Structure formats: structure tokens, C-alpha cells
Chains A and B, each alone.
Chain A
């Protein structure tokens, strides 16, 4: 196993280099650059200004040469400055955006898993019951309703309509991070953040619950139809014991794999939810930097996601061998 893990780690190096080359190339080749944007907004810009600005931004250098220079600096831990925000790209990502994203995505994943797993089991055990049909219907609603619509509807309901009809007794903020700063005290600050977190978290969880509960339901239905479950029942074990001791542990294996692989996604943020709820996270950072050609931020975001994806893929593969004795790496 150790040899296998080491070999996979070594394989990651050329893979990540290739990914960085592809990302850099695609980013550099996308139409338009920051100077184009300046040219278009300013009729007074002269050809001399254009040449000077291209030099200043290093855009007069061919992109493969720029890539080599970026790579050499990246190896030293220098990812340059965000052109949009004037601060180091690492600072922008790791101190300003990533914490917000993790505050949203980790609770969403944890809470939705805690809700979805029992719901999935319930649906499987009571297959085709009224409750199962209701849960199935709600799952389809969650899958079909786009976040930009359901999010705005939720905002309208909780920030405009309900405050009006309840005289403000039920009211949630219409997006944002919060009004208070840590200087206002620990509890007031975090209660304020929680208030602003409720709606985006709920919307994100709605879809997560739908997805995970459907996986859980399918996995459980497959397991309870297998011979070892029938044998456990034939031995006269109580239903609770059959379900929780025998079926559940086996049905959870694919869920664990799916959750393991979704961890890198936690870092990528949820661009639509973040946009609708004015939540400045990684998703928006990536989208905005792509639109405004903030290359250093784009590269750092995408490379971070690439590294996390390959690392967690390896961990998921290794974990699979641990939970399923039939799999051995040699």
C-alpha cells in the first residue's frame, strides 16, 4: 500500500504540471486582456499608452515564457498580486475568500448528510409509501429548481414578504456576510453571521439533501435485496439489527466514497448560491477573476482545486481499500 501511495504521489507531479500548463494556456488564450478593457473605456489612450501598458502588465511577452516565469515563482510560493484587488493572490484567496466558502460549504455538507442519510434509509425501507413519494417529489423539485430562482424567491419570502405579514417577527437578511465585525464581541459577531448564513446554507443544503438521500435510498435498496441480509433475517435477527448492523454499514460504502470525492468541491465554492446571497466566496472569486482577467487569482484558484482533487482522489482510493477488504493495492 505504501509503495502504491508513493507511486501515485510521484505521478501527481507531472499531472499537476500538465494541468498548470493547460490552465495557463487557456487563460492566456481567452479573448481580451486587461489592456483591451482599458483601451475600450478610454478614447484618449494613445498607441504609446497601449505599448507601455502591455509592457507594464508583461503582456508583450509570449505566454509560454510567461508560464515558465509563473511556474518558477510558484515553486517559491509566490503567486503574484491580484490585479483587481491590489493584494497578494494568496492573501485574497486564503484569508478573504476561502474562510467564507468553508463556513458555507462544510456545514452544508455535514448537516445535509446527517439529514439525508436517515431520509434515504426511511425512503428505502418504506419504498413507494406516501412519505417516500413526497420525498421523491421534493428531491425532484430540488434538482429542477435553479438556485438563481429559488434563492431569490427565498430572499423575497424571508426578507420582504414574511417581515411584512408578521410585522418583522420573522425576518432574515437579504444576503451579505453580516453587519458586525469581530470587534463587536464574539457572540454578537457569530450570531450575526449565523443570521446571514441561514438562507444560503438552507438553499445549498436543499440540493445536497436531495442528492445524498437519493444515493442513500438506491444504495440501501440494493443492499437489502442481497443474500446476506436475507440470511440475517432468516436467522431471526430483529429488523432494527438487520437494518443498522448489517445493511446500513454496507450501504454506506458508496456514500462515503461520494462524500470523499466531494470534499475538493467544498473549496471551490458554490458560485450561484454565493452570487444570489452576496456571499463572497471562492466561486465568485473564480468567476469574477476569469471575467476581469485577473490571471494570478485564476491560476491560484484553479491550481488549488486541481491539487485538492488529485489528493482527495488518492485518499478516496486508499480509504476504499480500508473499508472494503476485497480491494488490495500492490
Chain B
């Protein structure tokens, strides 16, 4: 018993020693996140997790970048290539059709890797060569599969040419870069080991071995280009980065006035993440952190922290399955029936009740921030009478149980989403009640995300696996191509179920306009095409648009330049200027909501 008492005394003694608090005291920043990146600073982005991109922003640098307003700024390049300064060129054929385009960059003379070596054209050439190597499992090679780099007068100038042309080259055509000198020996070893081989499990393992030497917790990146370099990664616990003094852009007043070290703490349970915020153990949260509900909860009565809800590019919607026998029986392939389903639900009240109006109602799949967004698209405000009239016009009338029926068939739909997502489950319940009021029976059938997004569910609408499916699409307002609803994007056996048009809606006019828009380089003409596409889409409602999600995140008061928009996506986009105002950091921009 004495031993037990002694042990207890030891534990209490340790308990009395409180943990060190986060904050500006030592000019550091501690960020909490619920996810750990699989790897960091992988130049070929072979994993597409948001947390990886968010953390990579601290260590990465590009030729150009996008600011919170979607405007390009020069980072590693001396200037942003444009038509005006001759850096961006478009070549047209005799008929005026654009056949190729190109961007010419000059790398800043003081642009160096973190070890002090020069960043040169060779680093861009190496990146492009690996990106397009058949053995490398990058998710997709677009838009660089046919791109070519031509050296300029010296090793700091080059031109990248897209042939066929890349529509968004001016905004996003800058190639990536990888430290060619640092990676040379390892790449040669990979190249030798897999020479002449086709993609396979064994080639992939060699690739992982190569990448493993530069991107993992065991082998931190040897060199980086951005304002911070990794110093310690304790797997499952934390990742720490410190200032890279070789980074060329210097914040106002000098680097010493801005954060010197940044630590990400990996806290998988979001309730524990909340406790970390309340206890002051973290200064800020990553965008991969709290749910909307938790952020609302934390917003109440907090003086030390600011909770922001940033308009994002995530579109929450319900796909209507227009394929399969059941869809034909219930006439889900009839636009009037789909319109009736949309008229039946009161989205304005829903977003007010559930989200305090912070997540606005959407009427179309395109983000309002995109230049091609059509403001006056048909809105389908809640109108139960109109919905009933549309159903009645199609021959669907209420039976004795109040449920619509026609020819002995009941209008009964299976409504699925990702199980365990409490927000979506609440939305489902509200919509179920609203549809019931007009005679539509909705049965909720939810599935784990792995099943819902797996190979045997959403893409198998033709087999009648679902009727209504609620989920979200992430888009970037700059790169809108309208391809979510193109006919060739309907997942089928022929295309390996690779398309995203899960509702199965095909419209020849829409497809024609979408194809035209893909090669239309004139912004005004492109806007017109998108205007028509959105009108067609809104008339046909292949999906029920619900709302645009906002990204909640939290930061301690006094933290400067830690903010973002739907263009920059993460609060780390301007990493070199993140700092504490109490330490002299100058605020260059603030969070807009």
C-alpha cells in the first residue's frame, strides 16, 4: 500500500507541473489539426489531402502565387507573366483557334534552396520529367502531360509551352519544381532499378523508396524553397518547422518580428482539439480541424480566440439518380419531377435554422466567386403548391396514405449520405419531413464514407443502388470547367467509372457548350457559354443544390496574416508574413467573411 501511495504522490507531483502554454511568448506558433499528413513536401503531390497542402505552404514556394482576392503575385519569379509584359503568349491558327500557349519566367537571382544552393531551370525540368514519367504514380498529369520547357538565355530563364493549349495557363500554368541536385542520386537509383518496366506494385515500391528519402518523418526534406524548413517530426504527435533564412522575400520590419517556429499538433479527436483550444495549448487551428457545430460552440463567450467562417468552394448538394429502372418508373429522368423535388424543400429556412445563415443557399453547382458564375440563375424558392402541381401534372396524385402514387407505384425514394456526419443527418431529417408534406416518401439509408464513395455505390446509379445522394464537391473558382455534369463524365464500365456525373444526366446542348468553353480563351465569350450552361442545368436540375459550405477555423487574437479565402484555401498561403502583432508583426491582410 505504501508503494501505491508513493506512486500516487509521484503522479500528483508531476501533475502540479503544468504544461507549457502556447502563444507569442517565444515568437512561435502552435497549430492544432485533426489529421496528420502522410508525407510532406512531395513535389509531385502523390497524396491530395488538404492537410498536406496546408502544411506544405510553410515550406513551399512557387514561381507565382494567388492572393486572397485571386490575384497573381510573383514569388520566385521576377514578374508575373502577362500578355502586357510579353511573358504570356497565345498562338492561333489561320482560323483564329488557339493552338498553343506559353509562359516565360525569369527566376529571381536570390532564389535559393534552404541549403543556399541556387534554384535553377534544371529544378523545373527535373520536376516536369518525373511528373510525366510513366512509372510515377501521380494521380493525374494534367495539364503538364504535353508541356515542354525550353531554356532561355541562362539557367534562370525558361519558357513552358502547352501544346495543346492550357486554358488556365495564365493563372495556373507555372510548373512545380524539385531539388534536382539533392534528389539526383536517389532518382538515378530508381531509374536504374525500374528501367523499361511498366507501372506495377514493384515499381511503385521503388518509387516509395525514392520518395521516402525526402518526404517522411524518418527522412525530412533535405532542402526546401519556402520560408520555413522542417526540423522535427514526431509521428502521430507533432511536426515542427523553423525559419529558412535563405528564403528571398522578407516581411516588413524583418524576419525576427515574425514567428520563428511553427508546430503542428496532430489531435485526431475533434473534442480533444476543442479542449486544446480552451486550455490555450494551441494558438490556431488548421482548416482540417473542427466541424461547423463545434466552431459555433467555441465562438460563444470566447475572448482570447477569434472564430472565422470563411466562404469556401465546397458545394453541398443532392444528386438525383436518373438511371436505372426505378428512376424510369418514378420519372426521375423527367426534369419536371426533379423541379418538383426542389420546390418541395425550404433551403432558406434550413440554412437559417442549422447554420445561422452562415452557409448560403446555392442555386447552381458553380461557386459564386467564379467569374463564370451566373447570378440570376433560376432559384426555385420553396413553393409546396407549385411542387404538388408539377407532380399532379405528371400524373402523381396522393393515395389514401398521403403518398404520391401513379399506376400502382408509390413515390418512395432511398436517400443516402455519409453515415456519422451529424450535420448531413440533420439536413436529411428536415428534408424528409418537407418531402413528406408534399407526398414524397423518403427512406434514409446511410453508409460509411468508404462505402458511399467506394466503387460500388455512387458510380453505380445505373444499377439502381440509390435514388438521392447527398455529398459535396470541392472546386476552385479559378479553374471552373463545368465538367462535373458533362455527358462523358457519367461513370460507366467503358470509362472505368472515372467520371463524376453520378446523377447520369446527359444533355447534348450542355455538352456542346461545355466542349466549346474548354477551348474558349476569350473571357467574355467564355462567360456567355457558361451563362447558357447554367441556365440549361438549372432548368434540368440533375442535382438539388443545397448550400455552399464555409470553412470554420480559429486563431488566437493578435496573430497576423493567418487568414484565407476560397482562392488561397489555407491560412498558410502567406507563410512568411505570419506573426504576432505583439512582437512587431505588421498585418498585411485580414480575414474576410
Contacts and interface: CB of A to CB of B under 8 A. Distances in A.
A86 B453 contact: no
A172 B39 CA distance: 30
B194 to A, nearest CB: 11
Which one of B14, B211, B484 has the greatest number of beta carbons of chain A within 10 Å? B14
A32 B453 contact: yes
Contact of A80 (B11, B203, B205): B205
Given A41-B48, A55-B198, A280 B272 contact: no
A170 B16 CA distance: 5
A302 interface: no
Contacts of A173: 19, 281
A37 B7 CA distance: 48
B540 interface: no
Contacts of A87: 212, 216-218
B275 A159 contact: yes
B235 interface: yes
A127 interface: no
Nearest to B458: A40
Interface stretch (B54-62, B335-343, B496-504, B507-515): B496-504
A170 B1 contact: no
Given A43-B483, A159-B279, A172-B15, A36 B198 contact: no
Contacts of A175: 267, 269, 272, 275-276
A69 B202 CA distance: 11
Nearest to A31: B454
A47 interface: yes
Interface in A201-227: none
A278 B267 contact: yes
B38 A36 contact: no
Contact of B19 (A85, A152, A179): A179
Interface string A39-66: 1111111110111110111100100000
Contacts of B500: 43
B235 A96 contact: yes
A50 B397 CA distance: 45
A214 B456 CA distance: 47
A58 B140 contact: no
Interface in B250-279: 265-269, 271-272, 275-276, 278-279
A205 to B, nearest CB: 11
B17 interface: yes
B564 to A, nearest CB: 20
B236 interface: yes
A118 interface: yes
B455 A33 contact: yes
Interface size bucket, B side? 35 or more
Contacts of B267: 175-176, 278
Given A32-B450, A32-B454, A278-B237, A158 B139 contact: no
B492 to A, nearest CB: 10
B275 A156 contact: yes
Interface in A166-183: 168-179, 181
A198 B11 contact: yes
Nearest to B453: A40
B407 interface: no
Contacts of A40: 453
Interface in A276-329: 276-281, 284, 291, 293
B137 A58 contact: no
Contacts of B495: 47
Interface in A66-118: 69, 80-81, 83-87, 91-92, 96-97, 100, 111, 114-115, 118
B201 interface: yes
A81 B205 contact: yes
B18 A168 contact: yes
Contacts of A86: 38-39, 208, 211-212, 215-216
A36 to B, nearest CB: 5
A280 B237 contact: yes
Interface string B454-468: 111100000000000
A56 B235 CA distance: 26
A26 to B, nearest CB: 14
B357 interface: no
Contact of A174 (B279, B453, B497): B279
A163 interface: yes
A57 B236 contact: no
B181 interface: no
Contacts of A194: 11, 14
A21 interface: no
Given A58-B200, A58-B201, A37 B453 contact: yes
Given A31-B455, A86-B39, A276 B450 contact: no
Nearest to B3: A114
Given A114-B3, A198-B15, 20 more contacts: A32-B450, A33-B455, A46-B140, A47-B495, A51-B496, A53-B137, A53-B199, A56-B200, A83-B38, A84-B38, A86-B215, A114-B4, A159-B275, A168-B18, A169-B18, A170-B16, A174-B279, A178-B237, A276-B269, A278-B236
29 contacts: A32-B450, A41-B48, A42-B139, A43-B483, A46-B498, A52-B137, A53-B139, A53-B199, A56-B207, A57-B137, A57-B204, A58-B200, A81-B212, A86-B208, A148-B271, A152-B275, A159-B275, A160-B278, A171-B18, A171-B19, A171-B279, A175-B275, A176-B238, A177-B237, A178-B237, A195-B19, A275-B269, A276-B271, A280-B266
